[in-house]
Amino acid sequence: MCRIGGVWMRQGQGISPSLLERKLWLIGEQQAHGGPDGAGVWLDSTKPIGLVHRRLAIIDLSPRGAQPMSRGQLTVTYNGEIYNYIQIKQKLQSQGYPFTTDTDTEVLLWGWHAWGLELLPQLRGMWAFALWDGEALWLVRDRFGVKPLFYHIAPQEIVFASELGALLPLLPSSPESTPAHLHHYLAYGYLPEPHTFYKDIQQVPPGHALRITCTAIEPFRYWAPEKLFFTAPQPVPIEEAESTLLESFQRRLVADVPVGIFLSGGIDSTLLATLLRQKLDIPLPAFTLGFQEKAYDETPHAAQVAQYLGLPHHVLYLSAEDLLPLIEKLPSLYGQPFGDASALAVYALARFTREKVKVVLSADGGDELFAGYVRQTQPIARLRFWAKFLRLLPLSGTHLSKLYPRQAFHNLPTKLLKLKYFRGEHYGELIQAFPEKLAASLVEDFSTSPFSAFYGAGTDWEPVKSRQYIDLTQYLPADVLQKVDRATMAWALEAREPFLDPELVALAGRLPKAQRTRQGQGKILLRQILRRYLPPTLWQRPKQGFAPPLATWLRGPLAEKLRYFLYSEGSPLRSLPLNLKNIRLYHALLEKEQDEWAIFLWHVFVLGLWAEWFSTISPASDNPPLARSAPALDRHTF
């Protein structure tokens, strides 16, 4: 895994190669944290196009694996891993293709030479790459969106990179945000792909390739998960499911460097660790983030699993306050507002894990494929009944939540707020942290959201499988995978997702409802497999997750900064089309200890941090100095 980028000055007759090279090195410099093992630049000899690469060496650590890499007329800069590259290499060798390295990069090049776009369905792995074939630039992203690829296209040039922060200093003018983007961000804390917070920067959508020439942009969709996921129900034997899971898990172990696992003690990471240990006798070192506050701490569960399986177990203990210094890093880390507060925990755990291993397995995707979210399993009629009931009560979500222990219901005040405003118009109502209808009054010149179709508006989204599909294609790439990639690559740690495999999508798509959910409980099939190897006491518990004490922070150590953003004449939020007067009303409720508004105000707080950070970035000059860059990612050491 690495970091990549490139520049094509399409109207660049007479452009100095030295200027192009300086731009390339600047893109690489911005992403050096994700590729500390090497750097390379390639310039075409006839056209003003160049590619840059920052290397994180995982397979074939020798200099032969350096990028950008060329074979024939093809040159590639590539980020990711192809887990079945040896099998594809053997097919290519049988056709007479010569190989001089043991890298999957060379397999990618010769495979493209042999099959073009038809190579992509053969690949099992994660990738984002840019390939120049002498006539066109190809930008390609993996099926699920594990690896990021952002691009900016203007008449005069194309610029692309793995991270938003690497693009911003190269743009000729400051990117603009739109009211629709603000509205969606305030409600959800992220934007649906392929959108970004900037009007003129997008992402290559998951499962897509873009062919770009001097005159046209042609998209190709090579992966259609709905064809696998929406198939006729057919019971899956446990033996078949276990074998398919194990094959996917085992593929993610290919590496010439140490591999570990994020172990939370939840069903997905426990199953991953268990099958590798019990079936393959591979005791991966496990890494867990523990908190001194018991309400947030999962280490006892993870420790029991690690002890039972005989895994080396490494635990980083922090208090919630230990995460506070990391908050200022969020804008430079994500390059745009990103409101998922659990990113702080992943960032801290990644730093700790990187001290021992260079690759880590993360169990993301299990909830989407096997119905692990509570919101996927509840009937709409029941949700509407409780929503109506809550609207009749004169109590806030915070008052109601005090009737239950925190350990019983994760982030209960926000869940009750979400339910209170539920209308059943689309599935996003169960994902958002702040009601969209309220967010509309907080953004000036806003009418209707263009994004409701992403969440099933106008369709029958009630079936469990439909909700899973929306999570798989919307929430997972836009929130979860963005969070994990940026937080791990900040420390040059490669995170792999063993559940995100096309064979597992096909398997999950076949499952009848009885193997998905039962009496409101999900992951029935995974639970049946776990029962074969572990006592239920080690994994049979409510889903916990991580939610830092945002209300306490925003009324305590972050209160002064939040008030600056909301009330000061010099607030950077005044540069955005926001109705700050209305936002202050929710701040007043939070001050009265109505904690259900905390996540929304956290989104506002992060938005303020981003606006403050972004104001320090100047538009590109005609001759950018190598040292000029977006504010560097200031790493925090524990």
Q: What is the pLDDT of residue 204?
A: 98
Average of per-residue pLDDT across 346-371: 97
- Of 144-148, 284-288, 316-320, 334-338, least confident by mean pLDDT is 316-320
Nearest CA to 533 out of 286, 267, 289, 313 is that of: 267
Convert the pLDDT of each residue in 576-634 to its tens digit.
999 999 999 999 999 999 999 999 999 999 999 999 999 888 666 555 555 433 334 43
Q: With 70 as the cut, is the pLDDT of residue 224 above it?
A: yes
Q: What is the pLDDT of residue 638?
A: 36
Amino acid letter, 550: L
Tally: H helices and E strands in the chain: 25, 17
Q: What is the pLDDT of residue 392?
A: 84
Convert the pLDDT of each residue in 455-494 to its tens digit.
998 888 989 999 999 999 999 999 999 999 999 999 999 9
Convert the pLDDT of each residue in 31-72 to its tens digit.
999 999 999 999 998 999 999 999 999 999 999 999 999 999
Please give the structure tokens belonging to residue 170: 């190269």
Q: What is the pLDDT of residue 541?
A: 77
- Of 4-18, 159-173, 387-401, 448-462, least confident by mean pLDDT is 387-401
Per-residue confidence band for 440, with pLDDT thresholds at 50, 70 and 90: confident
Q: What is the pLDDT of residue 545?
A: 67
Q: How far apart are CA 557 and CA 638, in angstroms?
A: 19
Please give the structure tokens belonging to residue 517: 């959910």
Q: Return the axis-axis angle of helices 267-280 and 238-251, rounded to nearest 10°.
A: 90
Q: How far apart are CA 109 and CA 71, in angstroms?
A: 7
Average of per-residue pLDDT across 352-362: 98
Average of per-residue pLDDT across 293-311: 89
Tokens 């690469």 belong to 53
pLDDT: which is higher, 356 or 632: 356
Q: What is the pLDDT of residue 205?
A: 97
Q: With 50 as the cut, is the pLDDT of residue 136 above it?
A: yes
Q: With 90 as the cut, is the pLDDT of residue 414 above it?
A: no
The secondary element (H helix, E strand) that includes residue 67 is none
Q: How far apart are CA 514 and CA 193, in angstroms?
A: 32
Nearest CA to 129 out of 57, 58, 69 is that of: 69
> For the chain, which domains are there?
2-223 (3.60.20.10), 227-372+464-538 (3.40.50.620), 380-461+549-614 (no CATH)
Please give the structure tokens belonging to residue 412: 């209960």
Q: What is the pLDDT of residue 635?
A: 36
Q: How far apart are CA 508 and CA 525, in angstroms?
A: 10
